A and B are shown apart, each in its own frame.
Chain A
Amino acid sequence: MTTTQTLHAPELSRRGLLAGMGGMTFCLALGTNGVSLVSEAQANTLANAQVTPWVRIAADGTVTILTAGAEMGQGSMTGLPLIVAEELDCDWSKVKIEWCPADPAVYGYKDPFSPAQLMWIVGSRATQLYFNDLRKAGAQVRKVLLANAAHKWGVDASTLKTEPSVVINPANGARLTYGEIAAFGTVPSPLPEVDPKELKARKDFRLIGKSVPRRDTPSKVNGTALYAIDVRLPGMVYASAMHSPVHDAGAKVWEGIDPTAQAAPPESWNDAQVKAMPGVIGIVKLPTGLAVVAQHYEQAKAGRDALKVKWAKAKADGFNSEKALESYVKIHDDPSAQVTSLEKKGDVAAAFANAAKTYKTAFRSDYGYHAQMEPLNAVVRITGDKAEVWEGSQAPDESRKAVAKALGLKEEQVDFHQCYMGGGFGRRSIGDYAAECALIAKGINRPVKLIWTREEDLAQGMFRPQSFQCLEAATDASGTVTGWKHCVVGEGQFLLITGIKIPYYGVPNQQIEMRGVSHGIRLKHWRAVGHVFNTFAIESMVDQMAADAGMDPIEFRFQKMAIIPKARKCFETVAQMCDWKTPRPAGRALGVSITERSGSLGAGAVEISIDRTSGKIKVHKVWVAVDGGVIVQPGPAKANVESAIIYGLSSVLHERVSMKDGVVEQSNFHDYNVMRMSDLPEEMNVQFVDVDTRPTGLGEIGNPFIAGAISNAFFRLTGKRLRHLPFTPERVLETLKA
């Protein structure tokens, strides 16, 4: 999961002087083996490498560090520069953070799944994929500072040490601040190598693992934090868009999401009537919809709301999500259906043939909407042969690409200005709305701010897919789980299968597969996406077997499922946290589930009660133990896990998108219910297992256990099992009656 650690023999140059900035500038370049600091001259000799300032040390001691940590509330805007600053050993109070350009060849990490360089802050990647490279970068800059001080003092650099932003000669107490060094320093060539062994030991960290406040917090309590929706340009006008209410995504989930591709376009509309409305400047026809442009937003929205459009036929015409979900059962049972094998281990047929006992069970899950608080929006200005984009994006590189494509420009003709995101959750990593805004700006020949209404944001949502799951398991005479089959049916390919494998359980014979369908529904990553329903199904099955064996569910995992030590430790920790063996008050029960995502592993428990009249499940307490490697920012790490717990509770208990006649039935927060304060558990307890391993993802790990833990607690209370996400009161009542 990490980028390579083999750095080129790097060099530094006097680029700071060349760039006329004073002080020292270190350049970051990407070679075939990963990220490295190099001289401009050397970088230009590297194939396809680009150079750009990454760390700047001014003579006044200010250290400017660029950040690739797109900020949607998870804190990595602060966390990534903090990693550089740790190894650079600089005074954090002197660090200034700036957004880096949307240039993945320079600022990207190596995609774990392809040779590509990406800046996508998705899948809880930021800290885990930038960690090693940024530590090395910081350490190299520190070494250069040491070398300059050593040269000035005529001593061996290895005798010197640093304290925050100061080089010290312990022999005589001489001191030089980083700012002082920057004023005279030269950058040696080649740049000193950094062996991983030279990186700081964990006990020497001054910033990593400490309470360092997030840099974005102050601006988020006084209205000054800049989201794209807040950007105002001279001469800017406003747009509100409408798309076909029926989805038209292609066979591959991304097809039809490209706003430059023809998909269910408008065929006719009341053009003259809307154009005559107050403030309306024009209507731009988009390949996928219409945008009303006006002097002010409320005028654009009024125009949009007044549109009467005849839409071309769309792929999902007539789509009924409930009927589709039921059709998945038939697809599962159809021996001729196309199957994608995801895991095949051992001899599954023999395990089932020789089993002492077998189990078969099914689960369902509905579509989910991101419901990020800031509706999708972007600002675009086109000047001559250049375009500028303001957007809060999880993937600025993708947005830049999408805008360039929409306008027929090269990527280097597009400047991307990163903004804070009012929530992302996976939705803000594709740039469809930014490209749409670019088309509107071109069509109306003015700088434009496009804001989707909440209703449009939901109708044109890109959902967590619905799914049907069938699981089968076999146990031998000793009760050990020997065979495992899991089939997921639905649309969304890779979105459907995240979290479906069970590397934490040592079941020797496994067959895990997907059966895909194609409806044309827009689908997307969504906080842990497939983990939500896959972990639910897996952990419900495990709980069912434990109950059938009359065993404690945690003990069952330890004794009958060959659980790996890392997972065992998490279960032991959470059992201690929640006092697992202590009986709960009448009407309450505990449930437990594993949780896994982006390299992190954990175990979570919930304590629930049920209102048997209303069917409402109340979650009173939540505990989770997480192995996330070394924790870089303990405060934001905890906040991330808490946030994902709430996101999970909200989705598992409340949230549901349904479609009838091809149209999404929900339209705003009155019928797409998200969790509110009154549903908050009385307690949330998050604990990180103390380990020395590299950081893994923490943005989503708080979510996947919620459904299984609630469902397993429900079983303990009622002897009945919930099988369909979300667990709405109606479904709870049905389950209780059954």
Chain B
Amino acid sequence: MVSFTLNDKRVSVDAAPGTPLLWVVRDHIGLTGTKYGCGAGLCGACTVHLDGKAVRACQTQLSDVADKKVVTIEGLSPNSSHPVQKAWVALEVPQCGYCQSGQIMKAAELLASNPKPTRAQIVAHMDGNICRCGTYHRIIAAVEQASREG
């Protein structure tokens, strides 16, 4: 049994310590906003925050998060009110939407540490997150908007 804080709630999970955090949150706990894309840390669809830092949930083991704080897309804001989420809606960033939880979590991490990033900093920060619908230019614009209005 491993305990950690998930979206401000204490949870305990009875799974093998090596279980990827991705499947812990999706299937053992039932928060399915965090997505499986590659299972190999290559696409960023499963990005969550671990003690405020964006990590790949598919490459993070349950044992890695013991007594730590995990935030998933469901916990980013209570009602889609995070500046990044608001900008994502305003600019209609998502197409298929599947990668966007990961994109949003990655972008939120950037603005938390660097509230006024340059375009180059945005690109460098977001480059590990694949969007197959090609919404990259809108992601950049939305991060810039969130930065202005956040």
Q: Name A residues whose Cβ lies closer than 8 Å to a Cβ of B.
A: 71-75, 213-214, 216-225, 227, 229-230, 232, 238, 278, 296-298, 301, 371-375, 420-425, 451, 453-454, 635-636, 639, 642-647, 650, 668-670, 674-678, 680, 684
Whether A423 pairs with B74 at a CB distance below 8 angstroms is no
State in angstroms the CA–CA spacing of A647 and B136 once bound together.
12
A298 and B62 CA atoms in complex are apart in Å by 12
Chain B residues whose C-beta falls within 8 Å of the C-beta of A74 in the assembled complex: 95
Q: Tell me, in angstroms, the Cα distance from A225 to B95 when the chains sit together.
A: 12
Given contacts A296-B27, A297-B23, A643-B134, contact A223 B98 (CB under 8 A): no
B32 at the interface (CB under 8 A from A): yes
Produce 1/0 per residue, B115-150, CB < 8 A to A: 000000001101111111111111110000000000
Given contacts A222-B33, A372-B132, 15 further A-B contacts (CB under 8 A): A72-B95, A222-B77, A223-B31, A224-B33, A225-B97, A229-B32, A232-B27, A373-B132, A421-B96, A454-B38, A642-B137, A674-B132, A675-B134, A677-B126, A678-B127
Q: Which residues of B contact A422 (CB under 8 A)?
A: 35, 96-99
Give a binary string over B14-33; 1 marks a CB under 8 Å from any A CB, 0 the rest: 01100110010011101111
Measured between beta carbons, the chain B residues less than 8 angstroms from A635 are 92
How far is A676 from B27 in the complex, measured between Cα atoms in Å?
29
Contacts A218-B80, A421-B96 given; indicate if A223 touches B15 (C-beta within 8 A).
no
Contacting pair A72 B96 (CB below 8 A): yes
Whether B85 contacts A680 by the Cβ 8 Å rule is no
Name B80's contact: one of A222, A301, A674 (CB within 8 Å). A222
Is there a chain A Cβ closer than 8 Å to B42's Cβ?
Answer: yes
Complex Cα distance A72/B133, Å? 9
Q: In the complex, are the beta carbons of B136 and A223 less than 8 A apart?
A: no
**Residue contact B19 to A371, C-beta cutoff 8 Å:** no
Q: Is the CB of A451 within 8 A of B36?
A: yes
Chain B residues lying within 8 Å of A372, measured Cβ to Cβ, are 96, 98, 132
CB pair B74 A223 closer than 8 Å: yes
| A301 contacts across to B, CB distance below 8 A | 39
For B139, the chain A residues whose CB sits under 8 A away are 677
- Whether A668 touches B35, Cβ cut-off 8 Å, given contacts A296-B27, A423-B96, A423-B132, is no
Q: Which residues in B have their C-beta under 8 angstroms from that of A296? A: 15, 19, 23, 27-28
How many residues of chain B get a CB closer than 8 Å to chain A's CBs? 59
- B contact set with A: CB distance below 8 Å: 15-16, 19-20, 23, 26-28, 30-40, 42-43, 45, 72-74, 76-77, 80, 85, 88-89, 92-101, 104, 123-124, 126-140
Contact B23–A298 (Cβ < 8 Å): yes
Contacts of B26 in A (CB 8 A): 230, 297
A-B contacts, 14 listed (Cβ < 8 Å): A73-B95, A74-B95, A75-B95, A217-B88, A223-B72, A223-B73, A224-B33, A373-B43, A373-B132, A375-B36, A422-B35, A642-B137, A668-B42, A680-B123
Provide the residues of chain A in CB contact with B36, threshold 8 Å.
229, 374-375, 451
Contact residues in A for B123 (Cβ distance below 8 Å): 677-678, 680
A223, B94: Cβ atoms closer than 8 Å? no
